Amino acid sequence: MERSLILLKPDAVQRRLMGKLISRFEEKGLNFVAMKLIRITPELSKQHYAEHAEKAWYPTLETFITGGPVLAAVVEGLDAIQVVRGMLGATNGLQAAPGTIRGDFSSSRQMNLVHGSDGPDAASREIALYFKPEELVEDEPTITKWMRAADE
């Protein structure tokens, strides 16, 4: 099992898409193990986007991501990191394939609605940035036996 950090970015919250986006992850079979509404500070933005902090476009990203409430969540599932990235689609909504979240809902390079961790190291680092260990709720849903075979 893998865990991935998801952020429903301020554009998703403002556009009243939270419920629809949460539903997509639920319907796929991912389990939510943590969730909270937060306001990202400039400091947290710089930590989260450390790999981009020196880029010319970083200041506008920081303005965007700190500009309104964000829903931070952790989802769990088999290959959850790659599954979430596939569901998001390409970074730029104009290039993301139809059927993906960004392809269906975004027409922007920046305002692409959802963040998902891009690998196991990023997932561990990002989950720790947003959640304390005790905020992650351990549970094995009883429906699992109807979601996949026992040997998967």
Pick out residues in 30-69 that bind ligand CDP (CB under 6 A). 52, 57, 61
Give the 3-state secondary structure of residue 88.
helix
Count Cβ atoms below 10 Å from residue 72 Cβ, excluding itself: 23
| One character per residue 100-129, x = contact with ligand CDP (rule: CB under 6 A) | ---------xx-x--x--x-----------
Q: What is the distance between the alpha carbons of residues 123 and 119, in angstroms, rounded to a whole number? A: 6
Q: Is 97 in the site for ligand CDP (CB under 6 A)?
A: no
What are the tokens at 124?
């561990």
Among Mg ion, ligand CDP, none, partner that 61 touches (CB below 5 to 8 angstroms by kind): ligand CDP
Which residues from 126-145 bind ligand CDP, rule CB under 6 A?
Answer: none
CB atoms under 10 Å from CB of 95, counted, come to 11
* Residue 53 φ then ψ, to 5°: -60, -25
80-88 and 18-28 helices, crossing angle to 10°: 130
Contact between 95 and 36 (Cβ < 8 Å): no
Under DSSP, the state recorded for 69 is -
125 labeled part of a ligand binding site: no
Q: Is 16 annotated as a binding residue?
A: no
Query: For the window 99-118, what string marks contact with Mg ion as x by the rule CB under 5 A?
Result: -------------------x
The residue ranges that bind ligand CDP (CB under 6 A) are 52, 57, 61, 91, 109-110, 112, 115, 118
Catalytic residues: 115
| Binding stretches for Mg ion (CB under 5 A) | 118
Annotated binding site for ATP: 9, 85, 91, 102, 112
